[in-house]
Amino acid sequence: MVKLALLGDTYPTQLHVNSRALQGLEVVWAGTTLESFRANVPGLRPQVLALDFVDLGKIPEKLVPELLELTGAQHALVSYRLTNHVMLQALTSPRIRFVQGPLPLSLLHVHVHRALDELRQANDKAATASPPRTPRPPRFTHEQLGQLLEIVTKVKCECPNHLARLVSGLLSFEEYSRTCESQDEKDQRIHALLYRQTTSAREAMEDGLVALLEHENIRL
């Protein structure tokens, strides 16, 4: 049975009036203050958090991820009266769902099961996905690229210089994107995408540079 913790001004009263609405879920805690939540909920190990706020604009952006980490919950269902588009864009993920509130408990029940189904599907997809490809090590050292930046060919062709510049720049950005600071999961995903794309581009340009050097009979 899924363990659920409820934080919101109306949830305790709703439970008192309609306790049967959440059948099939185990409500391990329901309260109205963050202080009480932090003090009591972590030890109960809920799987889902239902967090109801009046104004998202007054909620720190890191609060929901913090409560997920504090409790070890898999998912947070966040309802609100007044929206904040910055927070919605920053935090929406398979683990966090935002819905317009206030929610009757019958609708909360539906959202909890829907969120868990989506999270389960996301986890299954991640588990069956192919492991990320290991990038090929660089084929040119910085010293070799430096030589190619200055090389002069017999004809008016500066392709070695241009390709060396491109490869050097891609190498630099590849390392930068790999270590760039991320504030949340969305940042991590975009940096991982940039790293993979840059790595692929660097490898392709290196292949082109190798072919060019062989064609021009240039030895490093």
* Same domain, residue pair 124 and 178: no
151 and 89, same structural domain? no
CATH number at residue 14: 3.40.50.2300
- Please report whether residue 134 resides in a domain: no
Q: What would the two tokens of residue 109 be?
A: 């029940």
Q: How many domains does the chain have?
A: 2
Return the percent helix, strand and coil in the chain, to nearest 5.
Answer: 55, 15, 25
- State residue 122's pLDDT score: 66
Per-residue b or e along 8-40, where b marks 16 or more CB atoms closer than 10 Å to that residue's CB:
bebbeebbeeeeeebeebebbbbbbeeeebeee
Predicted pLDDT at 155: 65
Q: Which of 65, 93, 128 is the last residue of a domain?
A: 128
Amino acid 70: pLDDT? 95
In a domain, 188, yes or no: yes
For residue 135, CA distances in Å to 47, 159, 211 come to: 37, 25, 20
pLDDT digits (tens, 9 = 90+) for 147-176: 999 887 766 788 889 999 999 999 999 999
Structural domain range at position 93: 2-128
Q: How far apart are alpha carbons 102 and 46 in whole angstroms?
A: 21
Looking at the structure, tell me whether residues 109 and 177 fall in a common domain: no
Does pTM top 0.95 for this prediction?
no
- pLDDT of 123 reads 66
42 and 71, same domain (yes or no): yes
Q: CA angle, 117 as apex, 91 and 88 as ends, to 5°?
A: 15
> Would you say residue 61 lies in a domain?
yes
Q: Would residue 133 count as lying in a domain?
A: no
Check whether residue 93 and residue 196 sit in a common domain.
no
Residues 173 and 210 in one domain: yes
Q: Which of 77-86, 109-118, 142-151 has the lowest mean pLDDT?
A: 109-118
Residue 108 shares a structural domain with residue 194 = no
Please provide residue 104's backbone torsions phi and psi, each rounded to the nearest 5 degrees: -65, 150
Residue 109 within any structural domain of the chain: yes
Nearest to 75 by CA among 98, 91, 96: 96
Identify whether 194 is part of a domain: yes
Provide the 3-class DSSP secondary structure of residue 153.
coil
Q: Are residues 47 and 110 in the same domain?
A: yes
For residue range 6-33, what is the model confidence (pLDDT) as tens digits?
Answer: 999 999 999 999 989 999 899 999 999 9
**79 & 14 share domain:** yes
